[in-house]
Structure 1
């Protein structure tokens, strides 16, 4: 959510290079009734430079050389050639006539037939050969890579330039240029270049990239934006059935399911680089699905792609992105091997998809060269570094870049770097850049100190009433080897101060050996999460939600002190061990954690009761997060991608008598989360939690099936359960939820334009509690365990106004218990693609 929030902020605050193309044409294609013609083919005559009109019939095409004739065609219409009298032609209107005669030509209009379509015959050949082309032909490969990423504000006009926001920064508009894809003016705000060597081994399915040089201007050093860029521009393969962009799974036009998703038309054939190729145009069969429109050239013998251009359809159910354009070019090696040499991806971020809306371009251009094959590397070569950074790659001088760039920068591109470096010294720009950082990180920076997190400043619960919290952390940079963090809070109802502080220090960078410790004295809603967290400064939303349902006074005074050491010997595999000391005591007169130290007997009918639990605990845990990508190399890192698999195992042992501890016990916990992308059907999440406590313990140390008495959706909690409704010492919970990404609503005409997204899910819990644990209970709370399996199910609507989600939840069992919630409505806000 934080990363996507950056896009919204950039629309408002982020203020490229000039490429002097010789011929530019933009306009609209219409039929004789003046209705737009979508997916018409536009090409400069006798070239392979082409584009396809969008759903509104609009297009933009550009050539680096002078062109005199534009050819426009579409299935069902006569081809039209237009003579260009000048190099720049904007707001062109091209009218096509219906095709009058058909001589041995099959024409496909609307949904093309799946029979007797020559384009489909070619497509099937592509499927047969897709794993026998390109880099897949070799056991090993290596190549050099050059990548340039740019962010630009687009649709710059005279009114925009006069905006008071840019007072003192007017010089930046000297660098405005026109996009070769959309024809819109744009202004750069960020440029990053990287040179690297790429090694791959198809036998063991391993790829390693070694960065040789990196150069950044604009938001240099901003880890939130760099993290966003890493996530934004994930790698993709057009031969795969689905292409993942912006966390969405788009059906590839080369997919084996493409026949059911796209219409294909064999449009042309020609020699390209001395290879005879077919040109196939594709466009979606239905609106609102995650699809592309465009065309590709494919070789007639190897059936390898020579060139492909595709754009996401305007009706695709994706937020904050108005246009996505992909262009790939392949060169021929050894007469028959087609190798990807250029990959260009442009995205137009905007609040809405209106033609004139202003936004931000995100562009990535990647070149590959100097390919070598079948040079084996030992398997250990591909082992990922746990925590490696070579600062020398950021220190390359201008002479190095001038010599090693695959594509030379022209004078205007070099001027952009100077402009951005100058811009960073302008106070107004600094203020805007700081605002981006504050909203993304939640902290306000003062020299080497961050104030925050600002989103935790206010809260409310029945014990504290209105809660105000202030805090901060040390911050010298994203790669700090140590960090100290603290907060203090005050409740206006209980009139008490709370506090917490923690510190961590990375004593070994290579294996990320980190020691940490801290102390917290606060009020907490136990039973709002299942798997134990010993994070000193962690605080769940249930502890300070402003609005709750039912009675919410089951709060606990907690004093928590811990010391830990962690190591990451293998990338994304972390081990941690340490000790914890805590005391637990009820914070409310309506709630009790009392337990018997001496059970009632004939001699002592009332027994001996204690209301405070004191416990020391040894802990060891392991966490494995394969395919998780992180950014920064300090004691704290940012996550650069989602989703990823999470596997967590925790073992705890309590020791009676150590620091006056009350109990001996052992506890084992297991957590597993598996996200699954099911192509066009959306995304599924499976979450499994298991746990068992061996020994006799009181309520404060038992496992509580997590309820949710807030009005907001909380992951891993049960929407229809109250806090402490189910108590266990042995449990198993399973959650399944699925997001269809609007695929079902897209089939309903009156709902299609809303771009809502359907969500469904089921949650279940099983657990028991021993007779011994029941016997020492003196809290007055009747222990109920879900021995007959508690379950609930939900259906929801997401993407309401692009930022809101509603979940409707029904209780499926334990319907006769008092004060239960048979039906619940939860909401959540978030910025999602």
Structure 2
């Protein structure tokens, strides 16, 4: 239940489930009341030259709503407030204020005239379009270097004690054109939807808010011993009911809309790293101009610093910084957006606004953060979703320790009534009042999820995406894609299974299946159960649970697929010979204990009885007294094994769902140590042995060059055992590209009793393709992978040295098919293209060693279905 194949569902499966749920809600979610608003868009050009102007300030006077023109001089400005004027301001040009019609959409294409008087007041280097840009003698670059030099003195240091209150609001809305919403046949049962579309936020589209989440928390930080305690005072979110997991959607959204720290060299947004405009190397990748001076309400003078990428396709921001010029060079506000030339999968528009306030000691803390993103299947698609996350901070207290008990206990504590507080509490404690649209989201979604037609739609949608179909509230059948498969041993195989739901019990989960092979005419089956020792679900971190199961089924030795069912129909198609199988009969029991610091241990016991199937034989060869060889066959092999797993994943986060949990890759390593010991004569165990395996995983972010997933692994087996108990290295003869397996290695090809390996899978994130004309428009991504495995088998475990050991397998002609790795390492590498149609990755794989082995492929093409940003 909490192995890598059961709890840790693939990142694609979860994100696919969330995205399809959003698309279905596009046809079924209730819309909010339409709010009259004002929308202005257009282009700003130089009145004399006709060239477009970058970074022109466009704002509604008397409001905090504003924007700036992009690399093509275009702008879009919207507000729900009633305004009748818009102002254009740019250093070296005359400011212009023009009338607008309140509550309407309009286009203003403006030509700005120069203002010689203004040019004398601000030091600039000239028209950025006409003068060759240079960092040398550039006052804007000099200012950036001062900001970089003062970064540590301006950002909050690790004080002995810090306390603050945080309010977080996240919202998502589905988008489409009003006409398509009205014509959608799935909306006809919900007539109130098309009567209430909000068209004021995204130009030319209607928004249907469907997700709303608020959280009010108190944070307590202590330096020694290092502690970060979070007390959740209040939380509120929409409830989609039993079919869409609200917690999973919340985790998915939070991973997209991450915290932004401009003082870090690299800022992570979804799976991409953007170089901060105040990073050490920023002047190498950005262009800067001093474009204005601003006076705040307190009389403080700020320099307005505009910046754009040198390479428009690089993962860089465009925007403005407002910086103190009193010698501290502290950022007071940042307005940044990602230009449309930057290829972020699914993202059509992304904007970040940051505000800072001073602490008592003169340093600054983040007071408000806003991140908005508009997502769609393509840049020009109408359907998609639009989201915004706003985080504000209040009541900062520096070096004022709280009572010692405050820092003790679990890292995150939810107050008992946090999720059940009255609206009056929220009205009094929100940092910012909700709009009418936001306030209505909760009640509208609640009304929708109570409709029977909506429940039927979501029931079938869940079956389509997750592979499980409900049979009443307590049981669901599946996975549907494993109902039918075929292989050389079983022939045509039918399987039927199911599991209980959290409605049946949060503390207990039961699952089972039965399968039948029409060729071998044998039944296979599985029965398992997991019991949570906490008041939470068996999937909810931190887990403390006991699992027990019994399984009788087939398996390919050495096949270890990631995140897919082994009897998935599509994986029935394999290359080469695939006729050496096992019949397994396994009893398992184990206990998992996870801690808040993301250290966990698992202890268990397994009794495993394996019998060769297909053409696989367990054969001994011994010499008789007259010098001839005698052969004997072994029908089965039984082991009784105690197991221990220690895992430490600092800073790990999850996509947490009702019946799944998927880790989110971050910058921290994950260490997994596994130890096992076999006991002879215990429950018919035939061998004594001990085995250790260490796996280290780390995602290495390389800023503009993308990121690498690095896996180091090693193992050692103590004792004398036959080849089925050696490490049978992970091979893959399917046409699916498996990250952790060797994609051109044959099943059972290599065994070891000691080994070491390194796998590096690098994603360039478009670093190369984005610089090639035409190709950059495809938004494809480049991948490169190298896998190296070295190992050996000690003399005592080689069958030629001990007649009691089983012979290595051979093919029908008597040619060996199983080998050791003493002579040289196994090496394979691949280059691939990802993000094909936003989902697919295709790799050309090359094998570099042991090409003389029978039935090997030197080159192969493999595909992978992967949802990514």
Sort the Cα spacing of 1:785 and 1:404 in 2 relative to 1 into closer, same or farther, 3 A. Answer: same
Return 813-822 or 259-268, whichever deviates more: 813-822
Aligned partner of 1:421 in structure 2 is 446
**Structure 1 residue 48: deviation in Å?**
6.6
SS at 1:96 equivalent: strand
Aligned partner of 2:821 in structure 1 is 786
- Of 798, 802, 806, 1:777 maps to 806
Q: CA RMSD in A?
A: 3.3
Aligned partner of 2:105 in structure 1 is 90
Aligned partner of 1:528 in structure 2 is 559
- Of 40, 49, 59, 1:25 maps to 40
2:688 and 2:719 in contact (8 A); partners too: yes
**Structure 1 residue 424: deviation in Å?**
1.7
Q: Residue deviations 1:585-635, cap 9 Å, x none?
A: 1220x2223346x7755598415431311221122221222221246698x
Question: Is 1:656 matched with 2:680?
Answer: yes
- Of 460, 467, 475, 1:449 maps to 475
**Structure 1 residue 566: deviation in Å?**
2.3
**Structure 1 residue 86: deviation in Å?**
2.9
Question: Is 1:579 matched with 2:581?
Answer: no
Question: Is 1:811 matched with 2:842?
Answer: no
Q: Residue deviations 1:435-468, cap 9 Å, x none?
A: 5544554322330112222333333322223333
| 1:189-588 mapped onto 2 (5 Å cutoff) | 189-201=210-222, 206-219=227-240, 222-274=246-298, 275-301=300-326, 302-332=328-358, 334=360, 336-354=362-380, 357-376=382-401, 385=410, 392-434=417-459, 437-438=462-463, 441-445=466-470, 446-477=472-503, 480-508=506-534, 512-529=543-560, 540=566, 545-569=571-595, 571-588=597-614
**Structure 1 residue 350: deviation in Å?**
0.6
**Structure 1 residue 639: deviation in Å?**
2.9
SS at 2:22 equivalent: helix
**Structure 1 residue 547: deviation in Å?**
1.8
TM-score (norm 2): 0.87
Aligned partner of 2:857 in structure 1 is 821
Sort the Cα spacing of 1:317 and 1:490 in 2 relative to 1 into closer, same or farther, 3 A. Answer: farther
In structure 2, C-alpha distance between the alignment counterparts of 1:544 and 1:605, rounded to whole Å: 44
In structure 1, C-alpha distance between the alignment counterparts of 2:653 and 2:403, rounded to whole Å: 24
In structure 2, C-alpha distance between the alignment counterparts of 1:49 and 1:608, rounded to whole Å: 84
Sort the Cα spacing of 1:201 and 1:70 in 2 relative to 1 into closer, same or farther, 3 A. Answer: same
1:739 and 1:758 in contact (8 A); partners too: yes
Return 442-451 or 736-745, whichever deviates more: 442-451
Sort the Cα spacing of 1:778 and 1:72 in 2 relative to 1 into closer, same or farther, 3 A. Answer: same
Q: Residue deviations 1:494-517, cap 9 Å, x none?
A: 333211111111224597432111
Return 406-415 or 386-395, whichever deviates more: 386-395
Q: Residue deviations 1:702-759, cap 9 Å, x none?
A: 2112221111111221122111111212211211121111101222224221222111
- Of 60, 63, 70, 2:87 maps to 70
In structure 2, C-alpha distance between the alignment counterparts of 1:695 and 1:604, rounded to whole Å: 29
In structure 2, C-alpha distance between the alignment counterparts of 1:666 and 1:351, rounded to whole Å: 51
2:211 and 2:441 in contact (8 A); partners too: no
Sort the Cα spacing of 1:286 and 1:83 in 2 relative to 1 into closer, same or farther, 3 A. Answer: same
1:227 and 1:639 in contact (8 A); partners too: no
SS at 1:372 equivalent: strand
1:27 and 1:58 in contact (8 A); partners too: yes
Sort the Cα spacing of 1:159 and 1:47 in 2 relative to 1 into closer, same or farther, 3 A. Answer: closer
Sort the Cα spacing of 1:703 and 1:293 in 2 relative to 1 into closer, same or farther, 3 A. Answer: same
| 1:728-747 mapped onto 2 (5 Å cutoff) | 728-747=752-771
In structure 2, C-alpha distance between the alignment counterparts of 1:360 and 1:289, rounded to whole Å: 24
Q: Residue deviations 1:326-382, cap 9 Å, x none?
A: 11222345594543222111111111112x623211111122111111123589965
Return 114-123 or 441-450, whichever deviates more: 441-450
1:60 and 1:180 in contact (8 A); partners too: no
Q: Residue deviations 1:102-131, cap 9 Å, x none?
A: 877422525732122222122112212222
Aligned partner of 2:67 in structure 1 is 51
**Structure 1 residue 200: deviation in Å?**
2.7
- Of 167, 183, 187, 1:162 maps to 183
TM-score (norm 1): 0.91
Task: For structure 2, list consecutive stretches of 5 or more residues without a partner in the other structure.
Answer: 1-11, 537-541, 800-804, 811-815
Sort the Cα spacing of 1:479 and 1:673 in 2 relative to 1 into closer, same or farther, 3 A. Answer: farther
Question: Is 1:708 matched with 2:719?
Answer: no
**Structure 1 residue 802: deviation in Å?**
1.7
Sort the Cα spacing of 1:614 and 1:407 in 2 relative to 1 into closer, same or farther, 3 A. Answer: same
Sort the Cα spacing of 1:238 and 1:792 in 2 relative to 1 into closer, same or farther, 3 A. Answer: same
Q: Residue deviations 1:408-434, cap 9 Å, x none?
A: 335554333322221222233334444
**Structure 1 residue 39: deviation in Å?**
4.9
In structure 2, C-alpha distance between the alignment counterparts of 1:493 and 1:55, rounded to whole Å: 66
In structure 2, C-alpha distance between the alignment counterparts of 1:316 and 1:809, rounded to whole Å: 29
Return 1-10 or 570-579, whichever deviates more: 1-10
- Of 10, 19, 33, 2:22 maps to 10
In structure 2, C-alpha distance between the alignment counterparts of 1:217 and 1:377, rounded to whole Å: 34
SS at 2:533 equivalent: strand
2:229 and 2:412 in contact (8 A); partners too: no
In structure 2, C-alpha distance between the alignment counterparts of 1:218 and 1:506, rounded to whole Å: 24
In structure 2, C-alpha distance between the alignment counterparts of 1:547 and 1:637, rounded to whole Å: 28
Task: Number of aligned residue pairs: give it.
Answer: 822
| 1:112-191 mapped onto 2 (5 Å cutoff) | 112-136=133-157, 138-173=159-194, 175-179=196-200, 184-191=205-212
SS at 2:580 equivalent: coil
